[in-house]
Structure 1
Amino acid sequence: MALPKANRLKSRKDFQAVFREGIRRHSSYFTLRALRPSQTIESSLSTAVLPTDPHQLASTQIGITISTKVSKRAVIRNRIKRQIAAAFQQLLPKLSPGWRLVVVVKPTAAESKCVSQQFLQELEQLLAQTEVFNGHS
């Protein structure tokens, strides 16, 4: 299952803002880069491009990046991407609005015959560490 369009981080500028200003947390399969909602508003003010749609400000946007270092085969990289997107699909209702998240996949994700359930658990731990969940559960 793909992420809803409102929840996708698409532009290069958005990815760069998260990498430049975001906080980072590591796990065995992923590195999570997260940009807080207050930082999101400040960075969009500094670029002088304000979102015209108020809903766009509210929804949490997620980007997944996976390099050829993880696997040379696109089939494997795409499968991992789909599993991460499906895990985020389940986690979306729990997430606080306004965050910008980028998941960087590590090569260990392809090496282990990892099931999407393990991805889900690891993403939950990372999101809890960065306090992205509503109520910081």
Structure 2
Amino acid sequence: MQRLKTRAQFQAVLAGATISRTAHFALHRTGLDTQLQPANPGPESMTSQALFAVMEPWVGALIPKRWAKRAVTRNAIKRQIYAVSSALEPGLTPAAHVVRLRSAFDRAKFPSASSEALKQAVRSELQQLFARAAK
């Protein structure tokens, strides 16, 4: 499994379809065919290279500060996204996927920035997200 790294990769996937949603997350997916970007940005550049070099699942996490204020929380959520996606890798299609946080977790229910309860809630919701996408 590959991770999305560049802004162009994230933009290409987010321009694709939203294939599943849960209360806090949305999963976006796009195919890997014909996705090209300029090799050297600039007016004189005529060459292009593929955004996604290999035909295997690509995963990216998009966790805005708006919905997770603390860096500890954002990092914990990203770790859970990558852990769940790597566990489910055999069932993923060779496409580019972005998991996007679309609403905040209740701070009254999860007062700690990185508690086990928060991690379990995130993990279970991510499993639901990928299960809905597989249907």
TM-score normalised according to structure 2 size: 0.72
Instruction: Kindly indicate whether residue 101 of structure 2 is the aligned counterpart of residue 105 of structure 1.
Output: yes
Matching residue of 1:43? 35
Report deviation, 1:32.
0.9
State TM-score, norm by structure 1: 0.71
What corresponds to 2:29 in structure 1? 34
Distance 1:66 1:121 in 2: 17
- Aligned length, in residue pairs: 114
RMSD of aligned C-alpha atoms?
2.3
Q: Does 1:23 align with 2:20?
A: no
Residue segments in structure 2 that go unaligned for 5+ positions in a row: 39-47, 111-117
CA distance in 2, matches of 1:33, 1:60: 13
SS at structure 2 position matched to 1:119: helix
Counterpart in the other structure of 1:9: 4
* CA apart distance, 1:123: 2.6
Higher helix share: 1
Instruction: Work out whether residues 32 and 126 of structure 1, in 8 Å CA contact, stay in contact via their aligned partners in 2.
Output: no
| Larger radius of gyration between Structure 1 and Structure 2 | 2
**Partner amino acid, structure 2, of 1:83:** Q
Structure 2 counterpart of 1:42, one-letter code: T
